[in-house]
Structure 1
Amino acid sequence: MKQNLIGESPAFLAVLDKVSQLAPIERPVLIIGERGTGKELIAQRLHYLSKRWDKPLLSLNCATLSEGLIDSELFGHESGSFTGSKGKHKGRFERAEGGTLFLDELATAPLLVQEKLLRVIEYGEYERVGGHTALTADVRLVCATNADLPQLAKQGDFRADLLDRLAFDVIMLPPLRKRKEDILSLAQHYAIKMCRELQLEYFVGFTEEAQRSLLDYHWPGNVRELKNVIERAIYRHGLDADPIHHLVFNPFEAGWDNSLGHSSNQTEPDQTETERHEHIQFPLDYKQWQEEQDIKLLNSALEEAKYNQRQAADLLGLSYHQLRGMVRKYGLVGQN
């Protein structure tokens, strides 16, 4: 299914411009980018802007199959060519005839498969596994990886001659941290889609602090990670009418200290009672002191809960509405 590519940053627009130039040219294309940068979406755009747009577009992730299986999946096999094979099987090249074949995680392809790919590119021919008849292929090859192929070729882990054939031109996808201008528009896009999926009436938006968090985060998982963070925030926020403040970047973090052998109520042997408690000086204004303690406690609980108010309420033994009332009472800005 064709998906939209969203972004207006100079780095991203430069990529789209290059894709538009390469699309009509009948040559292999290599796409390099970190995980989650949208390599398959770029492959789709290359296909649909090419003369082959009305022909098949097939994909195969080379990392998901063993050497024997990837060989069969790409080039097909004859009946009885190996144990368990029943009947003749058409491979991806045969099914993509006239169209485009996208190979993701190319660096993981075995050397024997790389040799066969080289033959298809050079001569437009291949044989099914267990077969002896040469089949012709009119298929445009688009490959993608996040590996350093030139370095792998120097090490002998990737065929240098195949790299030469594939690198007619290379599309380098920028990571999301280099596309800061696109982060908020992408976040809004995924937020609105998730609201529609959950049948929410509207998207409540993000607080300024949440937006700053999105812009400051490093995004090792790129756009795919951003999509997860936003969708997670939408479903957790639920029907709350306030803008979204809290974002969970790491869903593997527990809401408690789960390190082995550690108890939160333990104190260091040399820690005195005076060190564990703030020294109180009399006389004092009890009401003001109590408010200060409430604010410190609220801030500590919110920080511990990563500013998830429901979790903070649980930590304090309060209801969600009780905690929200105290947050508003003391004017804790940004803790909505």
Structure 2
Amino acid sequence: MQQNLIGESPAFLSVLDKVSKLAAIDRPILIIGERGTGKELIAQRLHYLSKRWDQPLISLNCSALSEGLIDSELFGHEQGSFTGSKGRHKGRFERAENGTLFLDELATAPLLVQEKLLRVIEYGQYERVGGHQLLNANVRLVCATNANLPEMAENGLFRADLLDRLAFDVVHLPPLRQRQEDILLLAEYYAIKMCRELGFEYFVGFNRQAEQALLDYQWPGNVRELKNVIERAVYQHGQSDSPIDELVFNPFAAHWNQEESARAEEPKPTVETFAFPIDYKQWQEEQDMQILSAALEESKFNQRKAAQLLGLSYHQLRGMIRKYNLTSPQ
């Protein structure tokens, strides 16, 4: 069953409109977006709005399997085709017959598998691993990635001819930071769901500071990260009647590490090491000249301001400048 796609920002609504039009066109589709932007949800929408809606929707994450296994998972294998294979195995293409096959993380698929995918798209045929019988495929292919496929193709890391076949049209999913209007909408949605899961009577809301923090954050993990932040905040806040005022964006940051970092950033007084005997009068004059020069530079050689920085009167400062022959630049 398709999950909810939530949003009202122009960038998001534009994507939904495009997907609705593409759903009716029986061509391969490429979805590009950062992690956590909802690529699989868009693939589901493409399937359930298409004429194949009552047929299987089969998914495979290409990064989860090695080269040998992904070949077998996609196209199936015959009995005895490799060590440990028992009986004939139906691949994802065979299981998705008349329906839709969604391939996530496509950029990680080995070049040999890409070549076989190209054959399926061009001729609608494939062979099981270890088999010789050509099987026909009536499957709509929807692929997704967060990689730059054109750049990979230029560098020989992705088949350019496969990219051409997949790029009938490309759906670009906007990152959450480009969907400002949707951030608080999604936050409330996930908060209410979490309250129901925990058995809370109602959702107390966020205070203004928490809302602003949600809007200011860049969301590198996008909607998936937002969901984690909100659910974490709801359960940690508990059943208090006050609005949620604390959000943990980085659960990996231990509080004692933060305290140690803060202490490490505090300026520490430096103790100069002396080699005795020294000429105290000369050392004192050098110290005076250094601090006077620094104060004059800081005040852009405005002597009244420099005197204020040093806690001296204007006349005291003037006297020290004459004593050490410190003049402002012309």
Shared fold (TM-score, shorter chain, > 0.5): yes
Equivalence for 2:163: 163
Equivalence for 1:137: 137
Return the offset for 1:239.
1.2
Q: In structure 1, what is the Cα distance between the partners aligned to 2:128 and 2:260?
A: 55
Structure 1 residues 226 and 87: CA distance shift in structure 2, 3 A: same
Equivalence for 2:301: none
Return the offset for 1:135.
0.2
Equivalence for 1:240: 240
Q: In structure 2, what is the Cα distance between the partners aligned to 1:192 and 1:261?
A: 36
1:40-90 per-residue CA deviation (whole Å, 9 max, x = no partner) reads 000000000000000000000000000000000000000000011001000
SS in 2 for 1:256: helix
Equivalence for 1:112: 112
Q: In structure 2, what is the Cα distance between the partners aligned to 1:259 and 1:107?
A: 41
Q: Scaled by the length of structure 2, what TM-score is found?
A: 0.79
1:80-126 per-residue CA deviation (whole Å, 9 max, x = no partner) reads 00011001000000000000000000000000000000000000000
Q: In structure 2, what is the Cα distance between the partners aligned to 1:42 and 1:261?
A: 42
Q: In structure 2, what is the Cα distance between the partners aligned to 1:139 and 1:198?
A: 41
Is 1:26 equivalent to 2:41 in the alignment? Answer: no
Within 5 Å, which residues of 2 pair with 1:222-261?
Answer: 222-257=222-257
| Letter of the 2:85 counterpart | S
Within 5 Å, which residues of 2 pair with 1:7-46?
Answer: 7-46=7-46
Structure 1 residues 253 and 25: CA distance shift in structure 2, 3 A: same
Return the offset for 1:209.
0.7
Structure 1 residues 80 and 52: CA distance shift in structure 2, 3 A: same
| Letter of the 1:183 counterpart | I
Q: In structure 1, what is the Cα distance between the partners aligned to 2:25 and 2:60?
A: 22
SS in 1 for 2:255: coil
Return the offset for 1:234.
0.5
Return the offset for 1:261.
11
- The percent of aligned pairs where both chains have the same amino acid is 77
Within 5 Å, which residues of 2 pair with 1:170-319?
Answer: 170-257=170-257, 268=268, 270=270
| Letter of the 1:175 counterpart | P
Q: In structure 2, what is the Cα distance between the partners aligned to 1:111 and 1:250?
A: 37
Give runs of ≥4 in structure 1 deviating > 4 Å.
Answer: 258-264
Structure 1 residues 131 and 259: CA distance shift in structure 2, 3 A: farther
Q: In structure 2, what is the Cα distance between the partners aligned to 1:130 and 1:262?
A: 62
Note the residue ranges of structure 1 that are not aligned, 5 or more in a row: 272-336
1:290-313 per-residue CA deviation (whole Å, 9 max, x = no partner) reads xxxxxxxxxxxxxxxxxxxxxxxx
Equivalence for 1:89: 89
Quick check: which has more Rg, 1 or 2?
Answer: 2
Return the offset for 1:196.
0.5
Return the offset for 1:257.
2.7
Return the offset for 1:268.
3.5
Equivalence for 1:285: none
Report how many residues are paired.
270
RMSD, aligned CA? 1.7
Is 1:79 equivalent to 2:79 in the alignment? Answer: yes
SS in 1 for 2:81: coil
Q: In structure 2, what is the Cα distance between the partners aligned to 1:183 and 1:91?
A: 39
Structure 1 residues 247 and 262: CA distance shift in structure 2, 3 A: closer
Structure 1 residues 260 and 193: CA distance shift in structure 2, 3 A: closer
Structure 1 residues 106 and 261: CA distance shift in structure 2, 3 A: closer
Q: In structure 2, what is the Cα distance between the partners aligned to 1:143 and 1:22?
A: 14
SS in 2 for 1:50: coil
Structure 1 residues 206 and 89: CA distance shift in structure 2, 3 A: same
| Letter of the 1:21 counterpart | K
| Letter of the 2:116 counterpart | K
| Letter of the 2:74 counterpart | L
Return the offset for 1:270.
3.2
Equivalence for 1:275: none
Structure 1 residues 259 and 210: CA distance shift in structure 2, 3 A: closer
SS in 1 for 2:212: helix
Structure 1 residues 3 and 156: CA distance shift in structure 2, 3 A: same
Q: In structure 2, what is the Cα distance between the partners aligned to 1:77 and 1:103?
A: 19
Return the offset for 1:159.
0.2
Equivalence for 2:62: 62
Return the offset for 1:206.
0.2
Structure 1 residues 144 and 13: CA distance shift in structure 2, 3 A: same
Structure 1 residues 188 and 114: CA distance shift in structure 2, 3 A: same
Q: In structure 2, what is the Cα distance between the partners aligned to 1:3 and 1:106?
A: 22
Structure 1 residues 261 and 146: CA distance shift in structure 2, 3 A: closer
Return the offset for 1:241.
1.0
| Letter of the 1:55 counterpart | Q
